[in-house]
Amino acid sequence: MEKQDPAHVVIFPLPGVGHVNSMLKLAELLSHAGIKITFLNTEYYYDRVIRHSSDGFSRYMQIPGLQLKTVTDGLPKDHPRTPDKFTELIDSLNLAIPPLLKEMVTDSNSPVNYIIADGYMSHAIDVAREVGISIIYFCTVSACAFWSFHCIPNIIIAGELPIKGTEDMDRLITNVTGMEGFLRCRDLPSFCRVNNPMDLQLLLFARETRLSVRAGGLILNTFEDLEGPIFIGPLNAHLKVRIPEKTHSSSGLWKVDRSCIAWLDKQPKQSVIYVSFGSVAVMSRDQLIVFYYGLVNSKNGFLWVIRPDLISGKDGESQIPEEVVEATKERGYIAGWVPQEEVLAHKAVGGFLIHCGWNSTLESIMAGMPMICWPSFADQQINSRFVDEVWKLGLDIKDLFDRNIVEKAVNDLMVKRKEEFMESADQMANLAKKSVNEGGSLYCNLDRLVKDIKMMSL
In the complex, which residues of this chain contact ligand UDP (CB under 6 A)?
16-18, 21, 250, 252, 276, 278-281, 305, 337-338, 340-341, 357-360, 363
Shortest distance (Å) from residue 286 CB to ligand UDP: 21
Shortest distance (Å) from residue 374 CB to ligand UDP: 12
Q: How far apart are CA 324 and CA 43, in angstroms?
A: 36
3-state helix, strand, coil in the chain (%, to 5): 50, 15, 40
Shortest distance (Å) from residue 85 CB to ligand UDP: 16
| All residues at 6 or more sequence positions from 119 whose CB lies less than 8 Å from its CB, including other chains | 137, 138, 139, 140, 141, 146, 208, 209, 212, 218
Of the candidates 215, 38, 11, 13, the residue with the CA atom closest to the CA atom of residue 125: 215
Active site residue 84: no
Return the axis-axis angle of helices 143-150 and 200-211, rounded to nearest 10°: 110
Shortest distance (Å) from residue 126 CB to ligand UDP: 27
Question: Minimal CB distance to ligand UDP: which residue?
Answer: 357
Cβ nearer to ligand UDP, comparing 160 with 363: 363
Cβ nearer to ligand UDP, comparing 9 with 281: 281
DSSP string, 23-35: HHHHHHHHHHTT-
Under DSSP, the state recorded for 172 is: B
Cβ nearer to ligand UDP, comparing 235 with 324: 235
Cβ nearer to ligand UDP, comparing 114 with 377: 377
Cβ nearer to ligand UDP, comparing 19 with 408: 19
Catalytic one of 8, 32, 118, 346? 118
Taking the alpha carbons of 148, 152, 154, 155 in that order, is the dihedral positive or negative? positive
Shortest distance (Å) from residue 304 CB to ligand UDP: 10
Q: How far apart are CA 12 and CA 204, in angstroms?
A: 19
Shortest distance (Å) from residue 361 CB to ligand UDP: 7
Active site residue 168: no
Q: How far apart are CA 324 and CA 428, in angstroms?
A: 35
Q: How far apart are CA 192 and CA 197, in angstroms?
A: 8
Q: How far apart are CA 143 and CA 383, in angstroms?
A: 9
Cβ nearer to ligand UDP, comparing 134 with 236: 236
Rounded alpha-carbon distances, angstroms, from residue 31 to 25, 39, 79, 243, 453: 10, 11, 34, 11, 12
Report the catalytic residues: 19, 118
